[in-house]
Amino acid sequence: MRSFRHPCFMSLLWLGLATAATADPAIHEEARQAQYSQAELQSRIEAADDEMRAMLEELRELERAERRLARENAELAPRIERQAESLSRREVALDTLEETRDALPELQERMVERLERWVENDMPFLRQERRARVASLRSLAGELTAAERWERIVEAWRAELEYGREVDAWRGYLGDGESRREVDYLRLGRVGLYYLTPDGRAGRVWQADAGSWAALDDAQRREIRNGLRIARDRRAPELLSVPLSQPLESVEDDT
């Protein structure tokens, strides 16, 4: 059978269908719902795309942060190791500090005793002043902290050591009672101690080995007078030819 599709006929057919759809409310509503569903689906797809892009960006940021942390950890590792070693040394020092603190009073007392023996066995110069310095280390022991007493002991030792580097002259007294007389003393460090009477006619040198004074002859007294002028800045320094109070080896052993 031969079909017949005339253009006018087709137009009339579509026109009829459209008219029928427009005329039927159910069909119109179904078309509207389909259009709404399609729009909602498109919105969800776009929202999912935005969320996916945000998640990818967050993941990249986390990866960058991880790389930064890895670099910082690599840089901090040696520093942390050094700090751990330093802390370990400090812990060891703190452990020994208690022992040192307990031993400190005994050590201080031994140093005071040694200083006292040194003053008593040394040449007899400024002995009253030096004895008083040692005595103060004991009399003030209860009033000072351990650190303050230690500082006083060090100062006393430093003062004694300075005597070995000085040339000193002063006027003082020799003897006691009726034999007490005024003399001029000359000290050359810790190797020579001498005195002259004010008129220069008598003079002696201290002899450490004998623990007594020995007379000086005329030439030696002249040297001592020159030494007194040098010590009092009245004469330019020069080499003195005088007997020593004690051998240099003995002084080096004491120091």
115 domain-assigned: yes
Residue 142 lies in a domain: yes
2 within domain boundaries: no
Element (H, E) at 195: strand 192-196
Q: What range does the domain containing 223 cover? A: 167-254
Beta strand pairing call for 203-207 and 212-215: antiparallel
In angstroms, how far is CA 120 from the centroid of its own chain?
A: 38
Tokens representing 146 are: 């351990």
Q: In this structure, which amino acid lies at residue 221?
A: R
CB 193 within 8 Å of CB 126: no
> Is the same domain home to 99 and 144?
yes
Residues 105 and 145 in one domain: yes
The reply to whether 147 and 113 lie within a common domain is yes
**How far apart are alpha carbons 190 and 249 in whole angstroms?**
11
175 shares its domain with 204: yes
Under the banding of pLDDT at 50, 70 and 90, the label for residue 59 is confident
- Let me know whether 118 and 137 are in one domain: yes
**Do 152 and 194 have their domain in common?**
no
Question: How many structural domains does the chain have?
Answer: 2
Q: What is the pLDDT of residues 158-188, one digit of tens each?
A: 999 999 889 999 999 988 777 789 999 999 9
Q: Which of the residue ranges 25-34, 57-66, 120-129 has the most confident prediction, judged by mean pLDDT? A: 120-129
At 235-254, the pLDDT tens digits run 777 888 899 998 766 554 55
Domain final residue, candidates 161, 183, 198: 161
Instruction: Answer yes or no: is pLDDT of 3 > 50.
Output: no
d(CA 230, CA 155): 28
Q: How does the average pLDDT of the chain come out, rounded?
A: 80
Contact indicator for 196, 137 with CB cutoff of 8 Å: no
